[in-house]
Structure 1
Amino acid sequence: MAAGLTGAAILGRIPGRIILSDPAPLPPQQSFQSCEFCHGRGRLRSTSSFPGISPQRFQQRRGATVISAAMAMAATQEAFVPSRDSRREHLEQSFVAAPSPRNRADDASLNNPLLRRERMGCGWLGVIMEWEGVVVEEDLSLDRKAWRAIAEEEGKSLPPAFLLKRAAGMKNEQAISEVLCWSRDFQHIKRMAKRKEDLYQYMQRGTYRLLPGSRDFVQALKRYKVPISVASTRPRRITERAIEAVGMEGFFDEVVAAEDVYRGKPDPEMFLYAAERLGFIPERCIVFGSSNSSVEAAHDARMKCVAVAGTHPVFELGAADLVVKRLTELSVVDLKNLADLDAPEFQAPEPQLEESREEDRDLEERRFMAL
């Protein structure tokens, strides 16, 4: 606004008015000069453009025009500038935080703060981890070689690839009797199952490699006091020896081996027994597997399943509740959300009202009368 008040000095400000001194005289031969207070109706001209008007009269008219335009602009600015109180209220309303969601694990009626802290912790969920494919690397080629070796020893035909793929994850006795159908004699099945496991251990030579991030993830679970159980279809002596070989003894609360269950995957018996040993209901347990048979067994037991894509690609494990490439991609918050009993899949089905039988009787009577 100061640029528009050319030739006039501002003496003071009053709300709605500006007091100006007498404008300074313009040169007699001034060229055209634009004025922003003329509302777009023209330009301020010099005295040479107005014949018959004295320079003093021209200066008075010009000063009156400038003063009225300045008063109009000041009134417009004051009308649109918000007050300081309104701006403060607007800022306070814009920075009001949204209310945080209620923590379903917390119970405000409990008077013991330590008990409330325990409820909001992670001790109310359990983790069941498969040993091979989740904690250590799994070599399916050695397992197929062991099956072919025992087939040659027993004089059986070599099993096709689709049968060996189906037998993966099962107990040896279960695969021999139900998938390969080599024998129905219990003693013969036990002998072949033991021989096959010995061949597999001989080919493996007791070498185990931890998957990247598996040790760190198990340590994080132990730090948050999450009970962990290992589930394996290998014999107990072999599973415990493997745990000692990788230096993870004492990390797991329970070990479920082949001797503890009658059937392996995809039967949920192994996972149900592991949940019983941990002391949790199935809905509070999360299974970590590496195959579709593990996902099927976990869902049949009403457990959530996290699939680790290692021996199988990610797109083949889409039936799992969560698919990761490494265990380090998970956090404890993800596990608590999976084990939430308020999730829709854990809700009991809504009771459906039975259809009224009176309408059916009326319809039958009408049909009978029509006949």
Structure 2
Amino acid sequence: MPSVHRCWTRWAEEHGVARERLDQVGYAGRPAGEVVAELLAGRAVDEQLAAVARVQELELADAASGRLLPGVEELLSALPRDRWAVVTAATRTLALRRLSSLGLTVPMLVGAEDVTRGKPDPEAYLRAASRLGVEPARCLVVEDAPAGLAAGRAAGMATLALATTHDPAELCAADVVVSDLTLVRPLVQRDGTVALFVG
């Protein structure tokens, strides 16, 4: 989130968008094209496309500044690789750059190019479930942003919120809220299903 915040704040300054308006529209967990279309409504399509390209340029340049959150590496290494996916509002290029800078590889990625509607629409999570071959009701969405939690719930999935980037009060729609993934332990069962213990 610090990288996303830095990039969008700089973009807003460059494009004359007030910080209050940027926060009101919300950019965390949402596709850049949708955010720009809302913020620059009424402007020419070429200008909007250039603005999206600028956001992506800023984010790609800042992609290596991220840090691995507590418990992530341990949890992912314990999960079977065919049982999880990364679902992001970022483009595939940006997501893979961020993940590789953290030393992570992912078995499946659903990014901005894979959907027509971004979070909070459930399309991205439903696409991931379909690719995994799992019914949505048997999926768990792990999210740090309200838009992502809304998408997971709209997809009919259970939700676990990480209070790593937002105030827990903003995440109250989740089924479970934890401070980080050190509180989550997986148990892989014989049939390949995964149970997560929280606490």
- Percent identity over the alignment is 30
Alignment-derived partner of residue 101 in structure 2: 245
Give 1:189's match in structure 2, choosing from 25, 34, 48: 48
Structure 1 residue 142 corresponds to structure 2 residue 6: yes
Give 1:216's match in structure 2, choosing from 74, 77, 82: 74
Distance 1:193 1:148 in 2: 11
Amino acid at match of 1:200: E
SS at match of 1:198: helix
CA RMSD between the two structures: 2.6
Distance 1:186 1:261, change over 3 A: farther
Structure 1 residue 316 corresponds to structure 2 residue 180: no
What do the CA deviations read for 1:310-349 (whole angstroms, capped 9, x no partner)?
11122332210111112121123596379xxxxxxxxxxx
Equivalence map 1:113-192=2 (5 Å): 138-151=2-15, 156-161=16-21, 163-164=23-24, 166-178=26-38, 180-183=39-42, 185-192=44-51
Contact 1:233-1:257 at 8 Å conserved across structures: yes
What do the CA deviations read for 1:233-282 (whole angstroms, capped 9, x no partner)?
22211211222222222xx2211111111222111111111112212221
Contact 2:144-2:166 at 8 Å conserved across structures: yes
| Greater relative contact order (CA < 8 Å, ≥ 6 in sequence) | 2
Give 1:199's match in structure 2, choosing from 58, 68, 82: 58
Could you list the runs of 5+ residues in structure 2 that have no partner in the other structure? 189-193
Structure 1 residue 230 corresponds to structure 2 residue 89: no
SS at match of 2:64: coil
Distance 1:184 1:261 in 2: 24
Alignment-derived partner of residue 279 in structure 1: 133
Could you list the runs of 5+ residues in structure 1 that have no partner in the other structure? 1-136, 339-371
Distance 1:240 1:217, change over 3 A: same
Under a length normalisation based on structure 2, what TM-score does the superposition of the two structures give? 0.83
Amino acid at match of 1:336: A
Which protein is bigger by CA-based radius of gyration?
1
Distance 2:30 2:19 in 1: 15
CA displacement at 1:194 relative to structure 2? 0.9
Contact 2:71-2:181 at 8 Å conserved across structures: yes
SS at match of 1:332: strand
Distance 1:139 1:245 in 2: 13
Distance 2:5 2:183 in 1: 28
Contact 1:170-1:263 at 8 Å conserved across structures: no
Amino acid at match of 1:253: P
SS at match of 2:137: helix
Count of aligned residue pairs for this structure pair: 192
Under a length normalisation based on structure 1, what TM-score does the superposition of the two structures give? 0.47
